[in-house]
Amino acid sequence: MTVTAPEMLVGASTDFLKRFSPFNRMEPDALHFLAHRAALAFHPRGSEILTPEMGQARHFFIIQRGKVQSRQTGPASVTEYSSMTMGPGECFPIGAVSASRPSTNAYVAVEDSFCFQITADDFMQLMQMSPVFHLFCTQYIASLLNQSRQQLQSTFSQRAAEQQTMTTPLAQLIKREPIFVGPDCSARMALEKMAESGIGCMVIADDAQRPLGILTQSDLLRRLLLPGVDLSLPISEVMTANPHQLPCSASAYDAALEMATHAIRHLLVVDSDGQLQGVVSERDLFSLQRISLRQIRAGIESAADIESLRRASQDIRQLALNLIAQGIGAEQLTQFISALNDALTRRIIGLALEHHELYGIDFAWVAFGSEGRHEQTLSTDQDNGIIWTCPELQDAQPLRLRLITFAREVNDNLAACGFPLCKGNIMASNPDLCLTLDEWRGRFGSWIREPDPQALLNASIFFDFRVLYGNERLGDHLRAWLNKSAKSNSAFQRMMASNALQVAPPLGRIRDFVVDDDGTVDLKKSGARLFVDVARILALRTGVESSSTVQRLRRAATKMGVPNEEVAAIIDGFHFIQLLRLRSQHLDTEHDDANDNKVNPETLNELDRRILKEAFRQARKLQLRLKLDYQL
Amino acid sequence: MNWLSRLLPGRDEARPSNTATRALIEQWAAIPDVDPNKPHFETRYVVVNTEASGLDLERDTLLSVAAIAIVEGQILPSDSYYATLGDHAAAALGGLVEFAGKSPLVVFSAEFNRTLIERAFEAHLGFTPELIWLDLYVLLPALFPDRLARPARLAEWMEVFGIETFQRHHALGDAWVIAQLMLAIQARALPQGAFNARLLADIERSRRQLQRQT
């Protein structure tokens, strides 16, 4: 007996699996393990294979034959698809089994089906054994993240459209002088004019410019071409008489309603005398000119006073909303907000410098905390300070006082522009934070040498610094010095690590999330911060100079040889949490609010909840790594 | 040592010793009886299939045996058995007895397979274990009259269920098909009230009677 029965049957399963991705790329050992552990079971047509009610998913299924339908069971329209049919070689549920939680979808056999199944434990082991399979699962989850983002965007487009488009008066939507012809103009001439001007419809008006009729592109086929109408006939013979019109003062909303009611694509806009002012098309309503990045930026840079900067800061808020609607991810979005806030701050500093004599003082205005990390959300108070150098043979004290007076004005003006004063007085006008380069080094050095709880807290705010204005080299010096000092002090790193592990991701053993008394999860405290804290430590350890969490993670990972996919998954998780934070700030309040970072998982849709859980799992993974590295 | 190894012929032994066979019988007898009233889910079924030199029961002989277990309604590839008889017929058949234990056996066409196997048991082991035999050749049309109302060949049932195998007409290759058909039988039998081996055997018996009458 050369080949045993199990070997033959495992071989047969292997051959089957090899016909499908990702199994065809899987490492031989892993594939053999899978084929060996895979039990075959039958699911008659109409039977439920896996449903949320069955509780924690205990098996991973690979369809061998037949068809299985995956149906969303939560609130409708969670993703673009509400049900999806899967065939041989496809597998489920990846998310649920890797997260040890109930499936969010119901899987029902729509034909008599055979499925291979392995236990959740074997699934986990397979993930560990097989980088290919691991990547496959990671990418699958990443695609969920992507889907959710798209969905988020559609929520926002709708909202932005409502806010901006729908209340705009039609007079503002008209893009060009009205183009029209008289009723006696020949059809041919009218068509030529349409083609020439590249317009979708031709208006026919009388001598007083009052509309008489309209001919749209969609009319051409039915009224002119198919009946073979003589093109020398006057246009009034083929036009639609008594076209729909609205006054200039009507809103885009009225226009949309009128179009929907009469199933038309074009509306004529007339003034109070009934004179044609222009045409509004369905498309105009959806492609409204929005506040652009460039406009705001130009506005900020040319602003002559605080009042115009204050308006600019409101525009920034509005822009953020539009940017989400246009499909920008959390990373770019926070970068845009950050860039504009930087420009705003620079302009405020520039205005203040006009009446503060600081000539000859070498200084840098730095941002700390989230601003320092380029991760500002829309309700961030100011965290800033000054690094300066005292010229030799000069008394530091008077110079410091001048800087502080200047800083106070900047702080107040920032507050006027929507950046609330820092409650903890982390502001450049605080003499404690208006320090020379040497003083900063001394301060940072003492925290590193004696990392008591307060020092660690300080480190978590001040080590994320970034120069906003002034001499950048001061910041570079401080950064280089800090990285060197922290890198060589592993005891300090270890304390930072232990501090970072104080808060665990709010993942429950039984329920999905561990929530606070009010049923919410704090996305800042027990979400974003988990990533930020670990990233800071990794950056110090590997000497990464960036202050942004994502950059820190990416570069540290490269240095430490962590696979790209793994980092990408972690970063996706971080972005998702940031996006949820931005969303809750927008949708809930539009103003600063203590609850800005709180989200009630119950109010999230199935998919978001699922992804949030995955994001927290990524945080846990990151923490676990730290725990192992520092043996905590 | 595995008692089975004693069945393997030594250098100058052409036939297994009587002691080895006796040990096998004792071992088998010691296995607790399987309760045929237990639901499918709690019953280990063993699909058995053969390969013979031909289809003539009078002339042809058994070449190899294969068996696949079904536990909790699932087939696990590692829980299977295959052996060629050749010079080691007693060992091959002893292995089958050991693998099957007292589980109900499932075959496709008992008339041929059961006869061949029991005859071989008698010839090489001098002993025929008493077991429940289920015949899918009879049970399939009884439970799936909507698909095929008459007894049909294995190939036809494969087509009905879209079942494939890695090697047709191989004892294990066909056993793989029969095992999958048995999974379908279990699923179909439940809603019809035939939730255990005894009830399936009852269906089979009445079906045979019906066929004889008509």
The pair phi, psi for residue A509, each rounded to 5°, is -80, -40
pLDDT, mean of residues A153-163: 50
B25 occurs within a structural domain: no
pLDDT at site B94: 92
pLDDT at site A294: 58
What stretch(es) of chain A map to CATH 3.10.580.10? 173-286
Considering CB atoms only, which of B81, B83, B183 is closest to A42? B183
Give the gap in angstroms from C-alpha B127 to the nearest C-alpha of chain A: 24
Helix residue ranges, H only, A161-251 = 170-173, 187-197, 217-219
Local confidence band at A560 (pLDDT 50, 70, 90 cut-offs): confident
Q: Does A1 touch chain B (CB under 8 A)?
A: yes
CA distance A136 to B41: 34
Considering CB atoms only, which of B67, B83, B187 is closest to A42? B187
Nearest chain B alpha carbon to A66: B162
**In one letter, which amino acid is B158?**
M
Q: Concatenate the DSSP letters of all residues of B53-121 into one string.
A: S-S-TTT--EEEEEEEEEETTEEEEEEEEEEE-GGGHHHHHHHHHHHHTTPPEEES-HHHHHHHHHHHI
CA distance A375 to A578: 9
CA distance B150 to B141: 6
CB A229 within 8 A of CB A252: no
Is A595 strand, coil or helix?
Answer: helix
CA distance B178 to B156: 12
CA distance A310 to A417: 4
Name, of A156-165, A324-333, A491-500, the range with top average pLDDT: A491-500
Enumerate residues 6+ apart whose C-beta is below 8 A from A531. Answer: A549, A553, A570, A573, A574, A577, A619, A622
CB contact under 8 A, B77 and A47: no
pLDDT at site A329: 64
| Residues of chain A numbered 86-115 and touching chain B (CB < 8 Å) | 112, 114
Considering CB atoms only, which of A1, A9, A38 is closest to B176? A9
The pair phi, psi for residue A292, each rounded to 5°, is -100, 155
- Integer angstrom CA distances of residue B141 from A45, B156, B168: 18, 11, 22
| pLDDT tens-digit map of A586-608 | 554 444 455 678 888 888 876 67
Q: Does A43 touch chain B (CB under 8 A)?
A: yes
CB contact under 8 A, A8 and B166: yes
How many structural domains does chain B have? 1
B28 occurs within a structural domain: no
Nearest residue to A385 (alpha-carbon basis) of A360, A402, A362, A410: A410
Enumerate residues 6+ apart whose C-beta is below 8 A from A6. Answer: A36, B77, B78, B79, B80
What stretch(es) of chain A map to CATH 3.30.460.10? 296-443+466-476
CB contact under 8 A, B68 and A40: no
pLDDT at site B152: 94
Whether the per-residue pLDDT at A190 is higher than 60: the answer is yes
- Which of the pair, A89 or A140, is modelled with greater confidence? A89
Superfamily of domain A5-129: Jelly Rolls (2.60.120.10)
Considering CB atoms only, which of A9, A43, A44 is closest to B77? A9
pLDDT at site A427: 93
Name, of A277-281, A488-492, B68-72, the range with top average pLDDT: B68-72
| DSSP assignment letter at A426 | -
pLDDT at site A145: 64
> SS3 helix, strand, coil % of chain B, rounded to 5?
50, 15, 35
Considering CB atoms only, which of A40, A44, A117 is closest to B187? A44
Question: A625 is written with which tokens?
Answer: 């790594």
Give the gap in angstroms from C-alpha B214 to the nearest C-alpha of chain A: 32
The pair phi, psi for residue A132, each rounded to 5°, is -65, -45
Give the gap in angstroms from C-alpha A334 to the nearest C-alpha of chain B: 52
pLDDT, mean of residues A126-155: 74
How large is the ipTM? 0.89
Angle at A298 between CA A296 and CA A304, to 5 degrees: 100
Tell which of B45, B76, B81, B182 to mutate to test the A interface (max A CBs under 10 Å).
B76
pLDDT at site B12: 40
Tell which of A7, A14, A36, A40 to mutate to test the B interface (max B CBs under 10 Å).
A40
Question: A623 is written with which tokens?
Answer: 């923490």
Q: Does A4 touch chain B (CB under 8 A)?
A: yes
pLDDT at site A82: 57
Give the gap in angstroms from C-alpha B107 to the nearest C-alpha of chain A: 17
CA distance A488 to A483: 9
pLDDT, mean of residues A303-324: 80
CA distance A459 to A462: 5
pLDDT at site A322: 67
| pLDDT tens-digit map of A34-53 | 999 999 999 999 889 998 88
> SS3 helix, strand, coil % of chain A, rounded to 5?
55, 15, 30
Whether the per-residue pLDDT at A384 is higher than 90: the answer is yes
Q: Does domain A173-286 have CATH number 3.10.580.10?
A: yes
- Which uninterrupted H or E stretch holds A92? strand A91-92
CA distance A232 to A216: 18
Nearest residue to A564 (alpha-carbon basis) of A22, A26, A134, A148: A134
**Structural domain span for residue B157:** 43-213
A&B contacts, CB < 8 Å: 70
Name, of A171-175, A558-562, B115-119, the range with top average pLDDT: B115-119
Indicate the pairing of strand B45-52 with strand A434-436.
unpaired
Considering CB atoms only, which of B74, B78, B166 is closest to A12? B166
Contact list in A for residue B163 (CB cut-off 8 A) is 65, 114
pLDDT at site A288: 45
For a pLDDT cut of 90, what percent of chain A falls above it?
35
Give the gap in angstroms from C-alpha B99 to the nearest C-alpha of chain A: 12
CA distance A152 to A327: 9
CB A191 within 8 A of CB A223: no
pLDDT at site A487: 86
CB contact under 8 A, A112 and B161: yes
Whether the per-residue pLDDT at A386 is higher than 60: the answer is yes
Local confidence band at A148 (pLDDT 50, 70, 90 cut-offs): low
CA B161 to chain centre: 21
CB contact under 8 A, B77 and A35: yes
B23 occurs within a structural domain: no
Per-block mean pLDDT, blocks of 10 residues, chain B (214 long): 50 56 89 89 93 85 94 92 91 94 95 93 91 95 93 94 90 96 92 88 92 76
Whether the per-residue pLDDT at A482 is higher than 90: the answer is yes
Contact list in B for residue A65 (CB cut-off 8 A) is 162-164
CA distance A328 to B197: 62
CATH code of the domain covering residue B165: 3.30.420.10
Considering CB atoms only, which of A13, A41, A117 is closest to B77? A13
Q: Which CATH architecture has domain A296-443+466-476?
A: 2-Layer Sandwich (3.30)
Local confidence band at A78 (pLDDT 50, 70, 90 cut-offs): very low
Local confidence band at A612 (pLDDT 50, 70, 90 cut-offs): confident
Tell which of A4, A8, A64 to mutate to test the B interface (max B CBs under 10 Å).
A8
- Which of the pair, A163 or A545, is modelled with greater confidence? A545
Whether the per-residue pLDDT at A325 is higher than 70: the answer is no
CB contact under 8 A, B78 and A66: no
Give the gap in angstroms from C-alpha A115 to the nearest C-alpha of chain B: 10
Indicate the pairing of strand B45-52 with strand B62-71.
antiparallel
B1 occurs within a structural domain: no
Tell which of B93, B166, B188, B192 to mutate to test the A interface (max A CBs under 10 Å).
B166
Q: How many residues does chain A have?
A: 632
